[in-house]
Structure 1
């Protein structure tokens, strides 16, 4: 009897996964959000392309549909993402990671089309809040986490960086990030990096690497964010003045003049 009970307990757990998939599909269908079964490639193929990819978590939180993005990044080991503040960079990064995870679980992905290689590991390195216990500084904590990842990461892995190594000045942070990213690329690890550090992004851009692609959060001339991620050269500004104007109703240069 014990082995029969164990079998049904395991079956219940496994069926819960499929029921969860069905529930998720129904939620997305109710919002008319597209889904697709991805086309997985071998680890050595270095393929990545998608159409209408969106953040599945965000769309579940909002009443309206969310903006999807397209990209063609076959043979690209480095995807550097820069651009306007609150332009959708972090959301885009999350959509990449979630789509990769869903694909490797054998599920549908939130996109009109999606093709990616099967990676040997998926890692994330996001900035965290200050250590309230004050046992270490933010940069020390980031480097410590990076060290732990290095001990476990393998070739053909994928790692997502979001504003990493920005806890120090830009020159030092950019140099730390440059050395880490360069080492990862040498080991054939696919790197996605969201950053405001112009020195870092522009430094890699100037190298004209065949295996790198540079994306940016689109910004209209009016300062409006479209939340589209498009290919483009890194810019030395994140357009923080747009947010200042939105909050205070006056441009920063006008305030300086009247002050």
Structure 2
């Protein structure tokens, strides 16, 4: 009995509707423009077959136009396929985790972005765990090391998956100030002008309390008489 072959796991780069529309527009422009040019060059080549040596130039132009048209068509098909895979992952995907088994260097992309190669083991509910070796951008996953667990989302049917950046390390917790703070922080208030008291001021309340205890009347505060001086 023949069994269905499992899909190869692939790291998916989710595409939104705007990016897909732009890619399809560019692909359609290349396909239609180059396709029309290829048709014109082909007709011109057939018409100039009698002229010696001129048909080879037209043949070269026809091949170049045909290649450009193929590039435009492949751009359309690839953009549509990625968008469809993105929608399927959003609808059928399940949460999973990707355990990094090994990290290695990788060649840069065509845009000169540095990359790293990650060997990961993806596991979760609803599908058999699988391993995948893929290249990712260094500025996003450069902090991943062996043993790092990355959040992932997997389509159990096609085994297309996405991964997220490694979780940020927890912020350090500030220690509470103890009572044994530096002396400079504890003596700031006593050094503010206007808060220091003279020795006479500090001892006067004590003397008043002793006199009250002996039955003597407490001294009254001096009165200030305001008047005009002659």
TM-score of the superposed pair, with normalisation by structure 2: 0.22
Q: Tell me the TM-score normalized by structure 1.
A: 0.20
Between 1 and 2, higher relative CO (CA 8 Å, sep ≥ 6) is seen in: 1
